Structure 1
Amino acid sequence: MMTTHTATAPSGATAPLLSVRDMTVSVRDRGVVRPLVAGLSFELYPGETLAIAGESGSGKSITSLALMGLLPNNVTVTSGQALLEGVNLPDLPEARMRAWRGAKLAMIFQEPMTSLNPVHTIGSQMTEAIRAHEAVSRGAARSAAIEALRRVRIPEPERRMKQYPHELSGGMRQRVMIAMALALRPALLIADEPTTALDVTVQREVLDLLRELQAETGTAIILITHDMGVVAESADRVVVMRQGRMIESAPVDTLFTAPKQEYTRALLSAVPRLGSGAARAKPLPPTASVPVARLVGAQVHFDIGANFLGRPTHRVHAVEGATLDIQPGETFGLVGESGCGKSTIAKALVGLVPHAGHVEVDGKALGGLTSLGRRQICRDVQMVFQDPMAALDPRMTVGEAVAEPLLIHGIGTAAERHARAADLFARVGLTQDQMTRYPHEFSGGQRQRICVARALALKPKLIICDESVSALDVSVQAQVLDLLEELQAEMGVAYLFISHDMAVVENVVDRLAVMYLGQIVEMGTRDQVFGNPQHSYTRRLLDAVPIPDPQRKRPPQAQRPGDLPSPIWPIGKAPARVHLRDIGDNHLVAQEA
């Protein structure tokens, strides 16, 4: 049964900007019409933020595409209305709708790489979007684009204007999309998971920026997200959707304090909360004579640019002098913003990037290994990636995918490999009859479970989880994290857990290191780092974590002055190395200038 509350207009607003009335969106598949969103109704006033929350497949994104007139050819609005300033959006012809997009309503999409043109520079795409809706010169449009990039905290915006989308990280591309939408100052902004790919500090800055824009222009925002912390901090009202239907609608305070529906209560209870990790604390694994992995003064550099002789002009100091160790049976966390070197350390551990300094796995140094030695490293270290769909071959059944590592390493007969895969499926909560299916037949959470099963096939000593739960819904995320914990207790495997979600990290790690611009600035146990953060960057990361409590509204975070620092240095120059000091019980903190 659906629970609703009557929308209350913000102070000064007399009529809704957007009124969605009993809207149904249906798909026609092989002659059968099936509703994807059924009977959706809500109102949105100028200056208001409405959050549409729910898990994958609930109809959130389909709703946004219907409002933008961007539905696929076989999907249409079959009944109801979506009135923007009194005009029914589904009835607008494409020519008029094209003029409205950007000027009247704009959208920030979830996946920026599919929204940006790969053959045009960032600058040409941004200036084109601005000039399509505003009568300004090319120079004025370029200045507006640079300012928009600067406002979303993109370092060196003038240089970024000359780059192509593939040259930017995922977080950078999402910031470009946000800057492009904000530059046009629309009356209605639809943000579809706008901060999912962003670091927690940039996420907070972007959400602060959206609020500033609202205060300046009265822009109304529809915020589509599965992050209930973002909902609590940003929304005035919330619509909760499940399987294409609105099951609850309420002011944000009411929804968090007194949710009416069991599904809403389950959704809220699955949210990881900063500060709850101490309750899950367990004794640290004993220090072994030979750690599973160890780095001592590890460096990873990439040369870029070229002068007229073809020689590189600059160097990316991706990792600069990192020293850490991971013990058997331990979960070690690496946290920090995009580009800080977290994933590069993971790649160095599996031999995917050249490195200087000392890197070893299970007591064996990676430098100078034979091909047979490198093959053994692949057995000892496995990875679980962020996007399980991209990590699985769509032409291969999932049973074949899980058994493939055994085949590559020549382990067992075909029957033994099948039996091992079936056992792994059972361990990750899947059934043997699912082994004959293909990746597209599973949900995102099930696909990530399959990736975990594949990583376990070779009985590794270390599994690297690189943002392995960041793309999952909170309830599915909780299930995968519980699975990883159960497997660790059962098999004694160690994890290197890489994430920018500080609340998740606090709930799963034993020890962690905080990275900034390729260097470790703080390292210690979970209780040391989260309970007594000493470095200013660590404190900034923790302060930026969204709190799933609408009663605790935080003031906007202070903007960092000037451009963000960059790990790129001219050839011959290098960043100053930080020095870690022990402030007690092996809690290491970098000295600050």
Structure 2
Amino acid sequence: MSEVKDGEPALANGPRASANGQRHGQDPVLVVSGLTVLVRGEDGPRAVVEDLSFSLSRGETLAIAGESGSGKSMTSLAIMGLLPKPGARIGGGSIRLGDRDIAGLSEGRMKAVRGRRIAMIFQEPMTSLNPVLSIGRQLTEAILAHEAIGRSEARRRAIAALRAVRIPDAEGRLKQYPHELSGGMRQRVMIAMAIALKPDVLIADEPTTALDVTVQGEVLELLRDLQRDLGTAVILITHDMGVVAEMADRVVVMKEGRAVETGEVGQLFDAPQADYTRDLLAAVPRIGEGRGRMETRALESRAAPPLVQINDLCVRFPIRSGFLSRVRANVHAVEGVSFEIAAGETLSLVGESGCGKSTTAKALAGLVDYSGDIILEGTNMAGRTSEERKAQRRKVQMIFQDPFASLDPRMTVGDLVAEPMVIHGTARREERWARVAGLFDRVGLSADQMARYPHEFSGGQRQRICIARALALRPRLIIADESVSALDVSVQARVLGLLRELQAEFGIAYLFISHDMAVVENVSDRIAVMYLGQIVEMGTRDQIFGDPQHPYTKRLIAAVPRPDPHARRRAFERAASEIPSPVRMIGDPPNRLELHDLGDGHLVASRA
């Protein structure tokens, strides 16, 4: 392994065995040489990928890693012939698939290659699947586009592809639509569509970024099994170095459109040569780094009365049907949840999508109706007037997952940060602007940026703006709902550092909501684990990560990809049954969820 210089990648020589037992270095199925991708700019064409070269052998996984804007996805789109035209085009180099250069193929000829010889799994399956077509229609059309077979045979192959990706009741799923499937199931459908024609090369562009850690583990193991069975070569595009360590044979690290380092995955993690690679690896949160580091402030705070106390919180959403639209059932989103948060403490809520984390946060912020008690600084919010709830809401602010969706694109960022003060009438105009300028400085932005609009900032900067907005009313509690999950690892590290600094300076308490257990371990004082609306385990950070008691907690922690290629999992622990539905018909007896460990990492859920 060596650092790339003058655009010449250092590719390893000689055949070698991958984690899947394949041999590499001979007869590559894909060779990219000197690839340059140009996009149209105000001052003429600009290179977003420059002089990139790599090869890929049958059965091999090559990871292309780097932060947003590094050129990873543009590289994959160029290989697939999907560059957005006329704004982007290949400006030089070749892409050889077998003995054929596909870089200059017309769209008509590329259609014959795309799907059959080379296929792609996109990051967000919901935007990649047609919402008005059934799963079966989309799968069979993809097969019929390349195979001269009848619809019954295409349907048989579609069912076989769904079974290959471990989708239960594959035949029944053909009739369903994308919105009827979970995020993990939709991603499995995308993988089934990609492998249905057994392509030579499979490009997976951030295939697990939006997935829960347990679903991520299942998808990664699925890709590994399919690669072993079919011998498919895989290009894995990701900014998650834990996923790189778990899956890759070789790695290309990209920055600003160029490869800065290429090498075997073990060598790259053990002895990175490029400064950028070292910085990237240093920013990765690792389980174990936060253990034994309970903050003194949080320990002292626990002796005082709690800032927030939640008792037997329940949130249910009615399901209406029939001519009179009567309530026939309820979705039990949150069921009997109780916890406390001390001033200056960070309590993390963890669990998979749909477990009730965000609904709990919305109830605490006064955004959904609930039953039970939410006591904020000794005041029970139940039964309060709207004005009283508004006054109390000043003490609780939220930072959401997607900063761009959280900011009005028509307003300047200065006005956006000042808006909470305007709504609550907490400061005069002159004082507001002085306070906004101070907040910008505190989150690492300059006052002269206040007149700009959200689209003029990077993702990390926009999240800093959201943090400044949350601080505008000087809250006692900030709810951070997946506030760093969409950020690159280095930006994530800077935002988390900022949150810790603000907590130490102002004594702010955090309710930190996340499915990323490595991040949770590094930021939390205490952790509550949620499963299907209920808290199944709660304790200090050291208790949860050092000696987890509940089988679901153990499964969550075991699912975290380790940023160490020498510690790859042999197999992922899977649930032995589907998660029970949170829907209960009116009149059904109340019951609680139980999760049983069947051994060998298999869990089964039931209602008791």
Change over 3 Å in CA distance of 1:558–1:29 after alignment to 2: same
For 2:38, the equivalent position in structure 1 comes to 26
Alpha-carbon shift at residue 148 of structure 1 (Å): 5.2
For 2:4, the equivalent position in structure 1 comes to 2
Alpha-carbon shift at residue 175 of structure 1 (Å): 4.3
Aligned residue type for 1:45: S
1:422 aligns with 2:434: no
Distance 1:169 1:400 in 2: 38
Distance 2:448 2:416 in 1: 15
1:355 aligns with 2:367: no
For 1:86, the equivalent position in structure 2 comes to 99
Matched length:
584
Task: Kindly report which structure 2 residues correspond to 1:116-195, keeping only aligned pairs within 5 A, or say none.
Answer: 116-134=129-147, 145=158, 164-165=177-178, 173-195=186-208
Change over 3 Å in CA distance of 1:341–1:143 after alignment to 2: farther
For 2:461, the equivalent position in structure 1 comes to 446
Decide which of 57, 61, 64 is 2:76's aligned counterpart.
Answer: 64
RMSD between aligned residues: 2.6
3-state SS, counterpart of residue 528 of structure 1: helix
Aligned-residue identity in percent: 62
Distance 1:295 1:247 in 2: 50
Distance 1:101 1:171 in 2: 24
Aligned residue type for 2:91: T
Structure 1, 551-560 or 220-229: larger mean CA deviation = 551-560
Q: Flag structure 2 segments of 5+ consecutive residues without an equivalent.
A: 17-21, 596-604
1:577 aligns with 2:583: no
Structure 1, 454-463 or 2-11: larger mean CA deviation = 2-11
Decide which of 347, 350, 375 is 1:335's aligned counterpart.
Answer: 350
For 1:536, the equivalent position in structure 2 comes to 551
1:346-374 Cα deviation digits (max 9, x unpaired): 11111222212223333333332211022
Alpha-carbon shift at residue 380 of structure 1 (Å): 1.3
Alpha-carbon shift at residue 384 of structure 1 (Å): 0.6
Decide which of 35, 50, 54 is 1:42's aligned counterpart.
Answer: 54
Alpha-carbon shift at residue 569 of structure 1 (Å): 3.4
For 1:317, the equivalent position in structure 2 comes to 332
Distance 1:499 1:19 in 2: 39
Alpha-carbon shift at residue 245 of structure 1 (Å): 0.3
Alpha-carbon shift at residue 491 of structure 1 (Å): 0.5
For 2:19, the equivalent position in structure 1 comes to none
Change over 3 Å in CA distance of 1:216–1:541 after alignment to 2: same
Alpha-carbon shift at residue 565 of structure 1 (Å): 3.1
1:452-507 Cα deviation digits (max 9, x unpaired): 00000011111111110011111111100000000001111110000011010000
For 1:114, the equivalent position in structure 2 comes to 127
TM-score normalized with structure 1 length: 0.92
1:301 aligns with 2:316: yes
For 1:374, the equivalent position in structure 2 comes to 389
1:260-287 Cα deviation digits (max 9, x unpaired): 1111111111110011111533232433
3-state SS, counterpart of residue 555 of structure 2: helix
Task: Kindly report which structure 2 residues correspond to 1:536-575, keeping only aligned pairs within 5 A, or say none.
Answer: 536-573=551-588
Task: Kindly report which structure 2 residues correspond to 1:251-262, keeping only aligned pairs within 5 A, or say none.
Answer: 251-262=264-275
Q: Which runs of 4+ in 1 moved over 6 A?
A: 153-160, 590-593
Q: Is the 8 A contact 1:153 1:564 kept in 2?
A: no
1:456 aligns with 2:471: yes
Structure 1, 114-123 or 65-74: larger mean CA deviation = 114-123
1:52 aligns with 2:64: yes
1:240 aligns with 2:242: no
For 1:404, the equivalent position in structure 2 comes to 419
Change over 3 Å in CA distance of 1:145–1:391 after alignment to 2: farther
For 1:584, the equivalent position in structure 2 comes to none
Aligned residue type for 1:18: L
Structure 1, 297-306 or 78-87: larger mean CA deviation = 297-306
1:8-55 Cα deviation digits (max 9, x unpaired): 445556311100000100112246011110000000001000000011
TM-score normalized with structure 2 length: 0.90
Q: Is the 8 A contact 1:186 1:219 kept in 2?
A: yes
Distance 2:270 2:158 in 1: 41
Q: Is the 8 A contact 2:202 2:235 kept in 1?
A: yes
Structure 1, 555-564 or 92-101: larger mean CA deviation = 555-564
Structure 1, 386-395 or 142-151: larger mean CA deviation = 142-151
1:287-343 Cα deviation digits (max 9, x unpaired): 365423222111112233635664454432211111111111110000111111111
